[in-house]
């Protein structure tokens, strides 16, 4: 009898239910590529956030000019671009600054722009998608036409054309000056042209959720619209929000690099990956290591975040195991 009870207890423990969060985490852990990319992404974000401490530990400084190590043409005298124990990734030609320190400090600005843009665009898209999908009718029609209008705009050319006049207008109002005004411009316009696609995704999810039984039950019990939106719909939208955020962040990171490379983003003496890449192109023939390390760092980070996004999408998909 005791053996039967023990067997029943063990069988109950074996079939113990798991929450959707636990199931998603188990699926994500099975994806070795996604786990490796997540570890790499967290490591890079940590190094970027604690860049001053990391540089102090490695005894490197982003502003020190090692001019004595450069030759007359500004190229490091040491082989392989000045790579040594004192300078793990070498020196920047022309100035002699440590490349690793510049990459760490530059990543802070690049990640700041990318994170703020991602949060802003996702917040606007989430609100517009929920309002349009839940209320439908005339409200959804107006929001849909406005979204179509924004999607029809060539965002890249609009940012290129409006960069200088808008930055000057921001500076004239006293809101921000110099690179701060340029950063504000990038965040605003990238967010302005980035939310419509996300709002379409959220709208389609809300249109499906509002017909589900739990929403109908809440309406039958007299729940107010605010409660239905924030208590019933919003908790069921976190899966697509997390996936889109993980995929949008590297996109905005690359966008910041592109606009800084073109001279439309932040400018020296600030340091971003786009500025470093722009400088690297001038020395690509005489010092290819500078270009390869800078471009390779950007590619590695963007690829890591994209792989994390793909892994999250598979883990949060309830049909992934079928």
Residue pLDDT, tens place only, 52-99: 999 899 888 888 887 777 777 778 877 777 788 888 888 888 888 888
Residues above pLDDT 90, as percent of the chain: 7
Residue with tokens 């001038």: 282
Q: What is the pLDDT of residue 16?
A: 58
Q: What is the dihedral of CA 183, 187, 189, 190, to 10 degrees?
A: 120
Backbone angles phi, psi at 271, to 5 degrees: -125, 120
Q: pLDDT tens across 277-304, in order?
A: 888 888 888 888 888 888 888 889 889 9
Percent of the chain with pLDDT over 70: 93
Q: Is 70 helix (H, G, I), strand (E, B) or coil?
A: strand
Confidence of residue 5 (pLDDT cuts 50, 70, 90): very low
Q: Is the dihedral of CA 196, 198, 200, 206 positive or negative?
A: negative
Which residue is it, tokens 């990734």? 89
């Amino acid at each position: 009898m005791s053996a039967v009870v023990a067997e029943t207890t063990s069988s109950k423990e074996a079939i113990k239910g798991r929450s959707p969060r636990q199931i998603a985490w188990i699926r994500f852990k099975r994806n070795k590529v996604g786990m490796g990319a997540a570890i790499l992404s967290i490591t890079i974000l940590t190094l970027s956030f604690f860049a001053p401490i990391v540089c102090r530990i490695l005894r490197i400084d982003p502003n020190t000019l090692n001019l004595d190590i450069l030759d007359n043409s500004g190229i490091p005298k040491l082989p392989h671009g000045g790579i040594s124990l004192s300078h793990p990734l070498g020196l920047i030609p022309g100035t002699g600054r440590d490349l690793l320190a510049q990459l760490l400090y530059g990543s802070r600005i690049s990640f700041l722009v990318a994170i703020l843009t991602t949060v802003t665009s996702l917040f606007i898209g989430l609100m517009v998608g929920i309002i349009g999908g839940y209320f439908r009718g005339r409200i959804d029609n107006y929001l849909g036409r406005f979204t179509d209008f924004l999607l029809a705009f060539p965002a890249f050319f609009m940012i290129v054309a409006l960069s200088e006049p808008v930055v000057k207008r921001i500076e004239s109002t006293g809101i921000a000056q110099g690179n701060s005004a340029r950063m504000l411009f990038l965040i605003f316009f990238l967010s302005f042209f980035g939310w419509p696609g996300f709002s379409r995704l959220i709208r389609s999810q809300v249109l499906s959720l509002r017909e589900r039984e739990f929403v109908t039950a809440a309406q039958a019990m007299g729940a107010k619209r605010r409660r239905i939106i924030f208590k019933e719909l919003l908790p069921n939208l976190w899966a697509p929000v997390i996936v889109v955020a993980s995929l949008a962040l590297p996109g905005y990171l690359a966008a910041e690099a592109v606009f800084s490379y073109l001279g439309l983003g932040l400018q020296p003496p600030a340091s971003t990956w786009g500025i470093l890449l722009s400088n690297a192109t001038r020395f690509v023939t005489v010092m290819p290591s500078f270009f390869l390390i800078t471009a390779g760092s950007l590619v590695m980070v963007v690829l890591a975040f994209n792989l994390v996004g793909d892994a999250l999408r598979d883990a949060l998909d309830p049909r992934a195991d079928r």
